[in-house]
Amino acid sequence: MGGRGGGGSKEKRWWAVLIMLITSLALELRVQVSGAPQVPCYFIFGDSLADNGNNNHIVSLARADYKPYGIDFPEGPTGRFSNGKTNVDVIAELLGFDDYIPPYATASGGDILRGVNYASAAAGIREETGHHLGGRISFRGQVNNYKNTVSQVIDILGDEHSASNYLRKCIYSIALGSNDYLNNYFMPLLYSTDRQYTPHEFAAALIHDYSQQIKTLYDYGARKFVLTGVGPIGCSPSELAQHSADGNTCDEMINSANQMFNMKLKSLVDEFHGQMVDARFIYIDAYGIFRDIIQNASSYGFTVTNRGCCGSGKNNGQITCLPLQMPCMNRNKYAFWDAYHPTEAANIIIAKRSYRARYLSDAYPFGIEKLANI
């Protein structure tokens, strides 16, 4: 073997270099083609609008792990409260993730490095919110679960310094508050908050609790925050069924309470920038985007905005979508899938406008795409 002389081994070395070059070029290309995500991880805090399976493991009436939920989702029913993708699924796609963010309930091992979805249906900012529906993971519970994830990230990456260096690049999306209105403040037979607080005081109390959790997330490494406001709950088929004589006119008392919360949430962006100077916050005007969808339905391809695609009773909003119930056929023409939740078609519009604002008012001071690339 040694008898082949120096010339042969030199040639071999050249081949080795060439192969290395080709391999690294191929790797580079593969990364570019599959498109590495714009951020290493995406952490999601929320309610049924974002839940993708956490409540499947909880004793609760707020579950969606049965047909026809997921009828347009490749895996069928997963616990998502829609016919297909949720808003956060679409945002994960836009951010360049090639898989959806796993639910906390089943995320394990290295999965968590892409981020975790902690959202739980019926959950609110307040602890008692949604209790009549059974188990749920409140905002505080979700933040506690996140702390547990952080210690796993530290284990995987080796030390706290590497973990915080990693986590500060990630996006933290928070969309909570709907249930504090739907399944608390505007449910006076079961909850007493409407006797304790005026709508302004209630919004302030929610924002106070919310801020505490944001500060905890910051203490545990979060630096890029998306604060999403609540939608016009007074326009949901459920509230239309209960409060709208013509079944079409939104309940503006509920909507104005929702807007008080949203205004205070938006002003947290500036307040937090003053307190946590190395963090970035953005606010998403889900309320305005959804009102636009309802008011200008035809320009978005919708023909029905006041009824659930699946459900029964007035506005298909008195009884929500039941197991094995037959939903509407033309799901892309409906803004609402059931009594409370948007269809995939509406979720896609909300997600795209959260990612890249269509109107200046959609996102303050800018959308998720820019936050990702800061």
CB of 233 to ligand NAG, least distance (A): 16
Spatial separation of the C-alpha atoms in residues 3 and 147, rounded to whole Å? 63
Spatial separation of the C-alpha atoms in residues 279 and 353, rounded to whole Å? 22
Q: Select from 304, 316, 185 the least CA-distant residue to 253.
A: 185
CB of 350 to ligand NAG, least distance (A): 13
Contact segment (CB under 6 A) with ligand NAG among 5-13, 68-76, 288-296, 329-337 equals: 288-296
If the CB atoms of residues 121 and 350 are measured against ligand NAG, the closer one turns out to be: 350
Q: Contacts with ligand NAG in 289-328 (CB under 6 A)? A: 291-292, 295-296
For residue 336, the surrounding DSSP H or E stretch is: strand 334-336
If the CB atoms of residues 116 and 284 are measured against ligand NAG, the closer one turns out to be: 284
Query: In angstroms, what CA-CA distances link 30 with 19, 23, 25, 27?
Result: 16, 10, 9, 5
If the CB atoms of residues 280 and 353 are measured against ligand NAG, the closer one turns out to be: 353
If the CB atoms of residues 48 and 259 are measured against ligand NAG, the closer one turns out to be: 259
Q: Contacts with ligand NAG in 129-168 (CB under 6 A)? A: none
If the CB atoms of residues 51 and 292 are measured against ligand NAG, the closer one turns out to be: 292
CB of 75 to ligand NAG, least distance (A): 34
If the CB atoms of residues 197 and 300 are measured against ligand NAG, the closer one turns out to be: 300
Spatial separation of the C-alpha atoms in residues 243 and 44, rounded to whole Å? 32
CB of 299 to ligand NAG, least distance (A): 7
CB of 42 to ligand NAG, least distance (A): 28
Number of residues interacting with ligand NAG: please give it, by CB under 6 A. 4
Burial 108-140 (b: 16+ CB within 10 A, else e): eeeebbbbbbbbbbbbbbbeebbbebebbbbbb
Contacts of 358 (CB under 8 A, 6+ apart): 352
CB of 362 to ligand NAG, least distance (A): 10
Q: Please check whether residue 282 is in contact with residue 274, taking contact to mean a CB–CB distance below 8 angstroms.
A: no
Spatial separation of the C-alpha atoms in residues 233 and 186, rounded to whole Å? 10
Q: Where are the alpha helices (DSSP H) in 107-251?
A: 139-157, 160-167, 178-180, 193-196, 199-219, 237-243
If the CB atoms of residues 169 and 291 are measured against ligand NAG, the closer one turns out to be: 291
Q: Please check whether residue 76 is in contact with residue 65, taking contact to mean a CB–CB distance below 8 angstroms.
A: no
Spatial separation of the C-alpha atoms in residues 181 and 229, rounded to whole Å? 13
CB of 174 to ligand NAG, least distance (A): 24
If the CB atoms of residues 192 and 296 are measured against ligand NAG, the closer one turns out to be: 296
Interaction of residue 249 with ligand NAG, rule CB under 6 A: no
Q: Where are the alpha helices (DSSP H) in 197-343?
A: 199-219, 237-243, 252-275, 286-295
CB of 177 to ligand NAG, least distance (A): 20
Catalytic residues: 48, 338, 341
Tell whether the torsion through CA atoms of 354, 51, 254 and 313 is positive or negative.
positive
Q: Please check whether residue 372 is in contact with residue 341, taking contact to mean a CB–CB distance below 8 angstroms.
A: no
Spatial separation of the C-alpha atoms in residues 61 and 34, rounded to whole Å? 39
Strands 280-284 and 363-364: antiparallel
Footprint on this chain of ligand NAG (rule: CB under 6 A): 291-292, 295-296
